[in-house]
């Protein structure tokens, strides 16, 4: 049983729209998905929960067939994993030019694989399931300098009891529980550097 806690409607819908029609028709038959539903709701900003789940199924199947999804230890354009992680708010600049204006508008999931690869998944707080999207920023941007700061912070052990983790980039109040939780995810690879991987998740789920 999978319990989704994060799904990026924007990334999922964008990737779904990029699937060639012939492949889309084939996958829809195999996955028993009615594509007419998407045509009828194309004018809406984002699909409903069921529609988003079906789009995600198509996107993952298409990426798998193209060989684009690697593992957490050997990522490709995308990577999947299932490992203990902690998660919380990430403070990023409210605009790309001013790093003095920090607001918690993003979410971060952190963990390490059995081989020691440090993983950080960073996404928009808007797509945290159960959050009030009207009260969160819709834009999402990671400056390369911020990505490298996160990568540098991943050198240390991932300790949920450490309230200064990531040099203050994360709020000390962790979501749900300060203990690690077993999470499943698929993410776009953003940075792969010396055993440290930063990705942008399509979805994250409790296992």
Q: What is the pLDDT of residues 29-71, one digit of tens each?
A: 999 888 876 654 544 456 677 789 999 999 999 999 999 999 9
Is residue 3 domain-resident?
Answer: no
Shared-domain flag, residues 63 and 97: no
Residue 124, H or E segment: strand 118-124
Is residue 29 domain-resident?
Answer: yes
Shared-domain flag, residues 23 and 111: no
> Strand 98-112 vs strand 196-206: parallel, antiparallel, or unpaired?
unpaired
What pLDDT score does 157 carry? 58
Average pLDDT of the residues in 90-96: 56
What is the number of domains present in the chain? Answer: 2
Supply the pTM of this predicted model.
0.80
Is residue 137 domain-resident?
Answer: yes
* Mean pLDDT of the chain, nearest integer: 77
Q: Of 19, 39, 70, which residue is a domain's last?
A: 70
Shared-domain flag, residues 62 and 99: no
Q: Say whether 46 sits in a helix, a strand or coil.
A: coil
Shared-domain flag, residues 151 and 82: yes
Residues contacting residue 177 through CB under 8 Å, at least 6 positions apart: none
User: What range does the domain containing 46 cover?
Assistant: 8-70
Shared-domain flag, residues 150 and 90: yes
Evaluate whether 79 touches 70 at the Cβ level (below 8 Å): yes
Shared-domain flag, residues 199 and 104: yes
- 181 pLDDT band, cuts 50/70/90, is confident
Shared-domain flag, residues 82 and 106: yes
Shared-domain flag, residues 165 and 202: yes
Judged by average pLDDT, the poorest of 15-19, 186-190, 195-199 is 195-199
Is residue 94 domain-resident?
Answer: yes
DSSP for 100-169, please give it: EEEEEEEEEEEEE-TT--EEEEEEEGGGBTTS-GGGS-S-----HHHHHHHHHHTTS---TT-TTGGGGT
Is residue 190 domain-resident?
Answer: yes
> Strand 118-124 vs strand 3-7: parallel, antiparallel, or unpaired?
unpaired
Average pLDDT of the residues in 92-99: 51
The string of pLDDT tens digits covering residues 98-137 is: 555 445 567 888 888 888 888 989 888 888 887 765 554 4
Q: Of 70, 94, 110, which residue is a domain's last?
A: 70
Is residue 1 domain-resident?
Answer: no
């Amino acid at each position: 049983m999978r319990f989704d806690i994060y799904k990026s409607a924007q990334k999922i819908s964008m990737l779904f729209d990029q699937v060639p029609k012939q492949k889309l028709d084939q996958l829809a038959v195999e996955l028993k998905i009615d594509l007419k539903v998407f045509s009828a709701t194309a004018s809406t900003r984002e699909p409903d929960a069921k529609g988003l789940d079906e789009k995600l199924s198509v996107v993952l199947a298409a990426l798998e067939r193209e060989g684009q999804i690697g593992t957490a230890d050997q990522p490709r354009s995308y990577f999947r994993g299932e490992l203990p992680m902690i998660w919380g708010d990430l403070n990023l600049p409210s605009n790309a030019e001013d790093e003095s204006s920090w607001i918690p508008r993003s979410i971060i999931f952190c963990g390490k694989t059995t081989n020691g690869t440090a993983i950080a998944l960073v996404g928009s707080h808007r797509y945290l399931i159960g959050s009030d999207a009207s009260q969160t920023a819709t834009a999402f941007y990671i400056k390369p300098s911020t990505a490298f700061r996160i990568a540098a912070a991943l050198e240390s052990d991932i300790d949920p009891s450490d309230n200064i983790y990531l040099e203050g980039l994360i709020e000390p109040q962790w979501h749900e529980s300060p203990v690690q939780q077993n999470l499943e995810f698929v993410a776009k690879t953003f940075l792969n550097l010396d055993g440290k991987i930063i990705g942008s998740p399509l979805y994250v789920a409790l296992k």
